[in-house]
Amino acid sequence: MAKVDIPTFKLNNEKEIPALGYGTWLGLDEKTNFITEDIPKMMDALSNAIDIGYRNIDTAHLYRVEPEVGEIINRKIKEGVIKRENVYVTSKIWHQYHRETDVEVSVRASLRRLNLAYLDLILIHWPMSITEDGVDEKIDYLETWRGCESVLEKGLVKAIGVSNFNIEQMKRLVTNCKVVPASLQIELNLNLGQNELVEFCHANGIIVVAYSPFGTMVPSRQTPNSPEPKLNNPTMLEIAKKHDKTVTQITLRYLFQRGIVSIPKTVTKSRVLENAQIFDFTLDENDMNTLAEFDNGYRTVRPLFWQEFANYPFDKLPGLGQMEIPLSLRKWKNGAKLDID
């Protein structure tokens, strides 16, 4: 079996985070009561990922797959493939758990579903706080952060961080916290370079984790007017050919050389390996500069239905009014997947 040796970046808690992880967001199909046929495929792919050397797994309460993710991790520990201390597990706190004391409730529930004694990293998934019924609770994320500091102190998690915070929110958080976030997870890809945020984080010892690292490059994420590069982009193909790599490998390598962790998601076995085979070549300065030119600020993940809520972190599109939030992003016990609360 092919194996990969994935390097690590140092976090501000002196622990190491592998530079490449496995993402577990499969989407939620309301038509099938959130039961996606990709769950068994994801379990196989994750099992294979651990076998070949992945040691960083990204999940969330929202994704409804914590039990399955935990099952694979525990199976691999039992089989002797990994030890708990050698795998980096991240989960996230959803919108209805933003009160200081609810953070612990959320973290303990994630641990129970994952069947783990601790998490390596817990993130506030988004800065907004919204009830199951879609009511804006307007809770200050500094309050939520105090809850995070508390679960850290109690040893339920080894590190705390945030996701989808913008630069102003990061500056305010860093200025007003006891514990500086270990990590910021944001959308980051060739179209969305996030230079200002990355610079701020790196200057403050905060590790940046890139979600949706392929942006709209891959067919599942493409929309009619989404920008280049796609998988057949001539510039990308040229750089890929020069290094005898694929376009997706060039993309992930670019992020790694910027000091950024990537967490690509794939349920395809061959891609699990492909995405991790990026540590045996180097992009030169010309390549890096050429790739940087694709940055045009385009967002793949733009949840406009949240834009009227307090602390929404992105630019707003005027004139939309309050749009309906998808049920799957609000309600858990709606008759489906009752094992996931």
| 211 annotated active-site | no
Following DSSP, what letter does each residue of 113-174 receive, concatenated?
HHT-S-BSEEEES-S--B-TT--B----HHHHHHHHHHHHHTTSBS-EEEES--HHHHHHHH
Find the shortest distance in angstroms from Cβ 4 to ligand NDP. Answer: 14
Asked whether 147 and 154 are in contact (CB, 8 A), the reply is no
Asked whether 325 and 130 are in contact (CB, 8 A), the reply is yes
Q: Comparing C-alpha atoms, which of 29, 306, 17 is closest to residue 164?
A: 306
Question: For residues 101 and 281, which CB has a smaller minimum distance to ligand NDP in the complex?
Answer: 281
Among 170, 218, 255, 261, binds ligand NDP (CB under 6 A): 218
Question: For residues 11 and 252, which CB has a smaller minimum distance to ligand NDP in the complex?
Answer: 252
- Report the C-alpha gap between 240 and 63 in whole angstroms: 33
* 160-179 residues near ligand NDP, rule: CB under 6 A: 163-164
- Report the C-alpha gap between 171 and 185 in whole angstroms: 15
DSSP 12: T
Handedness of CA 54, 55, 56, 59 (dihedral sign): positive
| Residue 301 contacts ligand NDP per CB under 6 A | yes
| Residue 106 contacts ligand NDP per CB under 6 A | no
Question: For residues 232 and 286, which CB has a smaller minimum distance to ligand NDP in the complex?
Answer: 232
Question: For residues 27 and 101, which CB has a smaller minimum distance to ligand NDP in the complex?
Answer: 27
Question: Who's near 126: CB < 8 A, 6+ residues apart?
Answer: 95, 163, 164, 306, 313
Question: For residues 58 and 287, which CB has a smaller minimum distance to ligand NDP in the complex?
Answer: 58
Find the shortest distance in angstroms from Cβ 269 to ligand NDP. Answer: 9
Question: Who's near 118: CB < 8 A, 6+ residues apart?
Answer: 111, 155, 156, 157, 158
Catalytic member of 54, 63, 97, 254: 63
Binding letters toward ligand NDP, positions 253-272, x by CB under 6 A? ----------xxxxxx--x-
Residue 23 parent element (H or E): strand 22-23
- Piece of 20-28, 78-86, 112-120, 136-144 that binds ligand NDP (CB under 6 A): 20-28
First to last CA, the chain: 37
Distance (Å) of CA 18 to CA 9, 172, 309: 6, 28, 34
Residues near ligand NDP (CB under 6 A), total:
25
- Piece of 101-109, 209-217, 234-242, 288-296 that binds ligand NDP (CB under 6 A): 209-217
* 58-87 residues near ligand NDP, rule: CB under 6 A: 58
| Residue 211 contacts ligand NDP per CB under 6 A | yes
Find the shortest distance in angstroms from Cβ 108 to ligand NDP. Answer: 21
Return phi, psi of residue 53, to 5°: 130, 0
Find the shortest distance in angstroms from Cβ 86 to ligand NDP. Answer: 20
List active site positions.
Answer: 63
Q: Where along the sequence are the contacts to ligand NDP (CB under 6 A)?
A: 23-25, 58, 125, 163-164, 185, 211-214, 218, 220, 248, 263-268, 271, 274-275, 301
